[in-house]
Amino acid sequence: MSRSATGLPARRGRAGRRVAGTAAVALAGAAALHAAPAVLALAGPRRMFAPALAGTGRGDHVALTFDDGPDPVSTPKVLQLLADRGVTATFFLVGANVARHPRLAAEIAAAGHELAVHGLQHKLLLRYPPRRVADHLARAHDLVATAAGTAPRFFRPPYGVLSSAAWAAAHRLGMRTVLWTAWGRDWTARATGSSVYRTVAADLRGGGTILLHDTASATAAPESWRATLAAVPTILDLCHDAGWKVGPLHEHGLVDPR
């Protein structure tokens, strides 16, 4: 009797397909788990389900944060404005920019501001496998720590899109992931000082975290930081009139994530 008549090849074929199917399901599940936190980039789900991740703090305080620097043209102008107003903030720095401008990064810290990590490059972390994400964040962490003279406490993923691998890597490095409750959409070509102010004000409440940009990333409109610079004084006036103290994240009294 031939082997084919016994049915063994057919059974082996079915078993192989079951194994392949199980592997495909496992891979799809792993990919879904990796990407699941990305939904929290949307403001509604974030505020509803993850207020700690959104950066909700004390009701009498507003955290002011800037992403994507440092840049030798725009960052010093933002620093001067904040110095004139007697305000300190948290700067989420891109590691590659810190490597290019280490002295400027150190100057941000020397001015009393808090340095935090915004990735090694301004790229979507969902594109990378967990090991590469961990390597990127470790390198960015070390660059920022060297500039600040102390280990960074906070991490914000580029574009606000978080993966489980990025969250875990940041946690292992002792960093808490924080996004925002209000932003200015200040990276767009149509942004103006007035539009940035209105966009922030629409969502800002006591205990909120504001996202602005002290420079333009590769995906932002050139010179878009000028709209931010024009909006910051009016945003600070709004907070003052509401009785909210403005400062960095480490003074914000962030809610317990557990």
Could you tell me if residue 180 is inside a domain? yes
The pTM of the full predicted model, rounded to 2 decimals, is 0.83
Q: How far apart are CA 167 and CA 235, in angstroms?
A: 30
Helix, strand, coil fractions of the chain, as percent rounded to 5: 55, 10, 35
CATH number for position 191:
3.20.20.370
Q: What is the pLDDT of residue 28?
A: 36
Q: How far apart are CA 118 and CA 156, in angstroms?
A: 5
Could you tell me if residue 177 is inside a domain? yes
Strands 90-93 and 245-247: unpaired
Could you tell me if residue 240 is inside a domain? yes
Specify whether the CB–CB gap between 165 and 130 falls below 8 A: yes
Specify whether the CB–CB gap between 180 and 154 falls below 8 A: no
Q: What is the pLDDT of residue 55?
A: 93
Could you tell me if residue 28 is inside a domain? no
Q: Which residues are catalytic?
A: 67, 213
Q: How far apart are CA 157 and CA 138, in angstroms?
A: 13
Specify whether the CB–CB gap between 177 and 170 falls below 8 A: yes
* Domain range enclosing 61: 41-251
Q: What is the pLDDT of residue 216?
A: 79
Could you tell me if residue 32 is inside a domain? no
Q: What is the pLDDT of residue 181?
A: 94
Which two tokens mark 13? 């074929």
Domain count, the chain: 1
Q: What is the pLDDT of residue 247?
A: 98
Could you tell me if residue 109 is inside a domain? yes
Under DSSP, the state recorded for 181 is S
Residue indicated by tokens 């496998």: 129
Q: How far apart are CA 120 and CA 134, in angstroms?
A: 10
Mean pLDDT by 10 residues, the chain (258 residues): 45 49 36 43 52 90 97 97 98 98 98 98 93 97 98 96 93 96 95 98 97 88 94 98 98 82
Could you tell me if residue 97 is inside a domain? yes
Could you tell me if residue 31 is inside a domain? no
Nearest Cα to Cα of residue 183 among 221, 209, 214:
209
